């Protein structure tokens, strides 16, 4: 159902050059985004081979099946349960040349507060973090969910907006704390910008590069 729903959406990408640059260099990256913005992303970058950390909850079981369907590799774990094992899995994958995607406020919040996992991984591996946000012209928010998960209306227009990379130099507590705040600020800003772009009249969306129908091979 998620796949069929996604196929009705008209999704555009803004500032794609950010991850195209690192893909051209053959570098692994860490894509960071809010838990509530996930819906637009899997179909856009299906069969990319990117690794995604998913919690071991029942909700995580559902998410894992959906992500496997879209061609992603799933590593199970979270900040609360078996997080170290999941981290080792992500590190192993990155050493094999795979990029990683992380919902930085998951799996249970607080909403829109970046946790340290993605920042630590970036400092450990020397890989840039690429923040990403989504917006949809018409959508619903699940108000009773902890993240107020956003579901785009069928046949609506949406946007995936990429921000400038966040570079983490090492894993000192000071660096992790500083870059966590930098990433959080970038995601808040991108979220506002993505919403504005999605709501803008169609003729103002020229910077977007529409995704081709062929599967993406190197980016989230």
Closest CA to 8 of 136, 148, 145, 150: 136
Calculate the dihedral angle through the C-alpha atoms of 36, 171, 17, 49, rounding to the nearest 10 degrees.
-70
137-181 pLDDT, tens digit per residue, is: 999 999 999 999 999 999 999 999 999 999 999 999 999 999 999
Residue pointed to by tokens 């990256």: 29
Tokens coding 28: 């692994």
Calculate the dihedral angle through the C-alpha atoms of 124, 45, 134, 82, rounding to the nearest 10 degrees.
-40
Closest CA to 220 of 60, 65, 103, 54: 103
Closest CA to 45 of 22, 77, 75, 67: 67
88-138 pLDDT, tens digit per residue, is: 999 999 999 999 999 999 888 899 999 999 999 999 999 999 999 999 999
pLDDT at 213: 41
pTM summary value: 0.86
CB atoms within 10 A of CB 152: 24
In this predicted structure, the answer to whether residue 33 has a pLDDT above a threshold of 70 is yes
For the chain, domains (ranges, CATH) are 2-204 (3.40.1130.10)
């Amino acid at each position: 159902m998620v796949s069929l729903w996604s196929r009705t959406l008209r999704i555009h990408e803004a500032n794609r050059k950010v991850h195209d640059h690192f893909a051209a260099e053959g570098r692994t990256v860490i894509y960071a985004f809010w838990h509530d913005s996930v819906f637009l992303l899997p179909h856009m970058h299906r069969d990319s081979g990117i690794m995604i950390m998913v919690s071991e909850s029942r909700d995580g079981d559902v998410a894992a099946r959906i992500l496997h369907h879209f061609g992603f590799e799933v590593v199970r774990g979270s900040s609360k349960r078996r997080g170290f094992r999941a981290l080792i899995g992500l590190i192993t994958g990155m050493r094999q040349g795979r990029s990683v995607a992380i919902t930085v406020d998951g799996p249970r919040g607080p909403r829109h507060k970046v946790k340290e996992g993605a920042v630590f991984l970036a400092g450990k591996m020397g890989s840039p973090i690429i923040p990403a946000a989504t917006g949809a012209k018409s959508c619903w928010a699940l108000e009773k969910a902890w993240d107020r998960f956003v579901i785009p209306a069928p046949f609506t227009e949406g946007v995936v907006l990429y921000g400038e990379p966040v570079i983490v130099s090492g894993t000192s507590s000071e660096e992790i704390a500083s870059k966590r705040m930098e990433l959080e600020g970038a995601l808040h800003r991108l979220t506002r910008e993505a919403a504005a772009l999605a709501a803008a009249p169609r003729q103002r969306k020229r910077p977007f590069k529409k995704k081709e129908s062929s599967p993406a091979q190197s980016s989230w």
